[in-house]
Structure 1
């Protein structure tokens, strides 16, 4: 792969921000907007707004975009009565999904229901291709009515075709706080998980394990670098491997309103070390992206997207 596609949304007060946006890069450092900075897909179902996008390339040639069904611009003050508590208890019951063969022509939006009546919401889906099982693990954040919605945790479901899904199971629950926004990666037979901890500590934590669904341990070196930031107002971790072998971790900074918020890049020479160093000076963005993921693409796909929109 020689280029990168960033699928994301924009944090705006208007409904057009909570849609599907694309950005492109040939090096993973310098990003350009697609479609003149306008959405490439619009949500027409559910809340008619989507957040927390992920994209996956399947072994059978399909691409899928999956996102949280949630629009604060459309419904925060009305349907949700201005309270996040109401979203936690009864919003985002479905995930939005689009599929494509070429990253240019997309299917009609489809709503998928992975939880049941016990799930208060489904947020921030991510997809991991499990080569061992030859299927795809969708993981997301939820809180359950049976637990009085008191602790957000990470759940998962498996699929081979994005049509049928297994019953949700618990992937990770942190004993001393809620966790949201999970991201999973594999490198040299080891598994790395990034999540946002809501307390003890507040902020992003990194964990590593030897199996996808097994036990993980916290990477202390990463925690040390996060402590140097002087702020815990980061969320939505997403990472991708650069052509030079380094890894870039994007963290979504929400500590300010408006222009200063959005993704901030951190780079490491070796993901196992956990030493991700903030690297703003190496990157350029046409605007501050919000919660999304990066897909490695070919130069042919890069040209197709750039010219197609």
Structure 2
């Protein structure tokens, strides 16, 4: 490996510099969050190796923008991306980095990453590929942070040093010209998917241990290469973890650690919460508390201002559909399957089976009817108390069967329940995972009849 600086053309540097700076970072008052991600589903029907964007007010429940379609697509290299990362730059704008890899073939060597700039999340500009090294290895899962001691950004990524998988680092002032790579973190075993959070001048590195499939957090007072000490025991939900993501809430009093299931067939986000980032006390966050974007994989989250959230929503648009999340089985969502309504675990195939347009009630505009997104013109309706997905035949009976009235959740008033329009003593609920309408008289039934209207 040579020690020369790796750089793009002067034209690309000029393009990057042409981005109009936003307000200085110190002037930002963050009140919301942005997430970037790519998409995969078990049977690959919803795969998208491009940049996706979501927003959240609470950092836990997410609205995918642009109808969960890409907001930017790589046009060079492999033509696809994985593992996107977003950070606020010192000029107040944003940088987006991503692995240059399309699909699920992981034996490719690639010395480049994708990079975009964004002033305010309404456009992603200055697209370029930046070379990080000249080694016969990959450049996966780039993350970055500002290092004031160097007056530069540190770009940390996964690579193989010929002995094992480690983290490397390059330093840059513009995400165009990169320093020579250095070894950043090598604990003596294979690691993957590093994510660095700087909080109160202390540096925290979340990573995956490839030997045990668990997530860990290490700490450094300087953020310098080879300065981290692991401070947590292994964290895992499900069969194994990857893609750790450390987030400080906008209040600065709560911290979240997100992680993906490592299997595309079980592409689920899990989360932990702590009030002590420097400690070893992370509690599992109940899936009732959060909802990730549909089919999202290996995300990154950055706090943003209310104006940036509003601008992104205005530019890209909120979803024109919803999902219904079960209260007592929060890993399951209302979907149709073989013409019947039921709740099934996410992820599911095809993912669009769980998407609904909540339209004015067919029999009463004050109510609501659930129209299938992937079978437009078909609605959830009850017949002999069982709930089906049927085509609207235009009859009065169908309109009444397909109309429900939304009320405060019977098990939790912050959620929702749905009373039948024409059998008003019965509510939409699941029983053995199948949807039906029933009278509600027990705590179990109230939980069965409670849903979160989400995205």
Q: 1:99 aligns with which of 113, 117, 123?
A: 117
For residues 242-262 of structure 1, the C-alpha deviation after alignment (integer angstroms, 9 at most, x for no partner) is 1341001110112461xx413
| Structure 2 match to 1:40 | 71
SS at match of 1:124: strand
Question: What is the CA distance between 1:15 and its match in structure 2?
Answer: 8.6
Residue 218, structure 1, aligned to residue 218, structure 2 = no
Secondary structure at the aligned position of 1:303 is classed as: helix
Decide which structure has greater helix share.
1
Q: Where does 1:271-286 land on structure 2 (aligned, <5 Å)? A: 271-279=277-285, 280-286=287-293
Match of 1:129, SS?
strand
Alpha carbons 2:40, 2:264 under 8 Å: kept: no
Residue equivalent to 2:440: none
Q: Which has the higher contact order (CA 8 A, sep 6+)?
A: 1
Given the alignment, which residue of 114, 134, 137 partners 2:154?
A: 137
Q: How many residues align?
A: 282
Structure 1 residues 63 and 256: alpha-carbon distance in aligned structure 2, compared to 1, 3 A threshold: closer
- C-alpha separation between the residues in 2 aligned to 1:125 and 1:7? 13
Q: What is the CA-CA distance between 1:32 and the residue it aligns to?
A: 0.7
Secondary structure of the structure 1 residue equivalent to 2:278: helix
The alpha-carbon deviation at position 119 of structure 1 amounts to 3.7
Deviation string 1:90-132 (CA, Å, 9 cap, x unpaired) is 2x3210111122211222521110111x241110000111123
Give me the whole-angstrom Cα distance separating, in 2, the residues matched to 1:52 and 1:256: 14
Contact 1:21–1:41 under 8 Å retained in 2: yes
Output the CA distance in 2 between the equivalents of 1:33 and 1:236: 19
* Residue of structure 1 equivalent to 2:312: 305
2:130 corresponding residue in structure 1: 112
The 1-side partners of 2:82 and 2:114 are apart by: 10
Aligned CA-pair RMSD: 1.9
Contact preservation (8 Å) 1:15, 1:71: no
1:30 aligned counterpart, secondary structure: coil
Contact 1:204 1:237 in 2 (8 A): yes
1:202 is aligned to 2:213: yes
Evaluate the alpha carbon distance shift between residue 256 and residue 10 of structure 1 in structure 2; reply closer, same or farther with a 3 A threshold: closer
User: Is the partner of 1:301 in helix, strand or coil?
Assistant: helix
Give the secondary structure class of the aligned counterpart of 1:207: strand
Residue pairs, 1:1-309, within 5 angstroms: 1-12=30-41, 13=44, 17-72=48-103, 76=105, 84=106, 86-87=107-108, 90=109, 92-116=110-134, 118-144=135-161, 147=162, 150-175=163-188, 177-199=189-211, 201-213=212-224, 214-220=226-232, 222-223=233-234, 226=235, 229=237, 231=239, 233-244=240-251, 245-255=253-263, 257=265, 260-279=266-285, 280-309=287-316
Equivalent pair of 2:99/2:141 in contact (CA under 8 Å): yes
Q: Distance in 2 between matches of 1:235 and 1:211?
A: 25
Q: Distance in 1 between matches of 2:167 and 2:293?
A: 32
Unaligned ranges ≥5, structure 1: 77-83
Deviation at 1:14, TM superposition (A): 5.8
Aligned residue for 2:97, secondary structure, equals: strand
Distance in 1, matches of 2:223 and 2:117, equals 26
1:138/1:47 CA distance change after superposition, 3 Å: same
8 Å Cα contact 1:209-1:217 kept in structure 2? yes
Report the Cα distance in structure 1 between the residues aligned to 2:74 and 2:262, rounded to whole angstroms.
24
Is 1:25–1:31's contact at 8 Å kept on the other side of the alignment?
Answer: yes
Normalising by structure 1, what TM-score?
0.85
**Which residue in the other structure is 2:336 paired with?**
none
* 2:67 alignment partner, SS class: helix
Helix, strand or coil for the counterpart of 2:50?
Answer: coil
Tell me if the contact between 1:15 and 1:49 (Cα under 8 Å) persists in the aligned partners.
no
